[in-house]
Structure 1
Amino acid sequence: MSFNKKEMLSKIKKIKILLTDIDGVLTDGGMYYTEDGMVMKKFFVKDGMGAMLLKKAGFLTGAISTDVSLINRTRAERLKMDFVFLGVWEKEKTLDEICEQTKLLPENVAFIGDDVNDLLILQKVGFAACPVDAVDEVKKSVHYKCKNKGGKGAYREVADLILKYHHRNSNEKNN
């Protein structure tokens, strides 16, 4: 998908919710195992700050992941995400639920995904983004390819983009 900056910004200004996959977006996609089989994942603090800044600015946030691990739920809850759906393979159906619950349209939703299980939701939302290290099929399907990798600032990059444009848009309305 190819968009010029003006088209991309017109999509961003409609965004009210930022949803994300977890593994490969909020993490680098790696999993660490302890000797007793416990799974550990590393999250990037600056991505977390992006979620908190969005919340402070009045945006809704959420995560939709195929993984059901407690560590994913814990991270999403710590970030005070409004929506946390784990164990979901048909993410586009969860998008429909969220839109129905919030009375918003898919064009008001941004989603960050990194792999083929994110393709259908990425094609349905108003603004689709991916980390630079997403699979090629996803990179071809999004409006915005981050400069940062998953678990290394991709979420923050999209959050900052949304905040920057909305701030600029509100300043233009006030002048």
Structure 2
Amino acid sequence: MLPKLILTDIDGVWTDGGMYYNRTDDEWKKFNTYDSAGVLFAHACNISVGIITGENTEIVKRRADKLKVDYCFLGVKNKMQIVNQLISDLGISLSEVAYIGDDINDLAVLRSVGTSGVPSSAPFYMKSYGNITLSKKGGEGVFREFVEAILGEEKILSIIDNVVLANQ
């Protein structure tokens, strides 16, 4: 059964975990364009996508808006609290949620949801908390890999035929 909601951390998942600053305190994040297809694939299957991140940066909000991510929570200290609020609002259970995260602030969610994934770049001890083993590192399209693993090859090929190619 497919999840009804896919949630994701940002730093270390959509990015390589690096934080770039200059002398004027500007901040940059590098996102991998492959992850945008993960959002497209999820939406094509009527699965909502949400971001829950501890960082509070406008950059993440801009990326979420561009990709039409359904939920975006910034500056979150207790991710499980947000997850519980979302499942209550949506009338779904934790077993209908998938989550990908890479570090200790993701542990509670990874341990609680029905489907969980951890990038290959995560610390070694985090890998035991993901029930989907991912080969990509954070910042290399691992969110897309996670969504593809959830949906499976047949569903992905169907989406490409019916959604992507039909709109070209």
Normalised by the shorter chain, which TM-score bucket? 0.7 to 0.9
SS in 2 for 1:140: helix
Contact 1:44 1:152 in 2 (8 A): yes
Q: TM-score, normalised by structure 1?
A: 0.84
Determine the C-alpha separation between the residues in 2 that align with 1:97 and 1:112.
18
Q: Give the match for residue 83 of structure 1.
A: 71
Specify which of 126, 144, 155 is matched with residue 167 of structure 1. 155
Task: Give the unaligned 5+ runs of structure 1.
Answer: 1-12, 171-175
How far off is 1:165 after superposition? 6.5
Aligned pairs for 1:44-83 within 5 A: 44-83=32-71
Specify which of 105, 108, 114 is matched with residue 126 of structure 1. 114
Determine the C-alpha separation between the residues in 2 that align with 1:146 and 1:162.
11
Task: Give the unaligned 5+ runs of structure 2.
Answer: 159-168
How far off is 1:149 after superposition? 0.3
Bigger mean CA offset, 25-34 vs 119-128:
25-34
How far off is 1:54 after superposition? 1.1
Q: TM-score, normalised by structure 2?
A: 0.88
Determine the C-alpha separation between the residues in 2 that align with 1:136 and 1:105.
29
- The structure 1 segments of at least 4 consecutive aligned residues displaced by more than 4 Å after TM superposition are none
Aligned pairs for 1:34-45 within 5 A: 34-45=22-33
Contact 1:116 1:135 in 2 (8 A): no
Percent identical pairs in the alignment equals: 36
SS in 2 for 1:24: coil
How far off is 1:167 after superposition? 2.9
Determine the C-alpha separation between the residues in 2 that align with 1:127 and 1:162.
8
How far off is 1:138 after superposition? 1.5
1:153 matches 2:122: no
How many residues in Structure 1 have an aligned counterpart in Structure 2? 157
Specify which of 117, 126, 135 is matched with residue 105 of structure 2. 117
Across the aligned residues of Structure 1 and Structure 2, the Cα RMSD in angstroms comes to 1.7
Determine the C-alpha separation between the residues in 1 that align with 2:89 and 2:7.
14
Determine the C-alpha separation between the residues in 2 that align with 1:111 and 1:40.
24
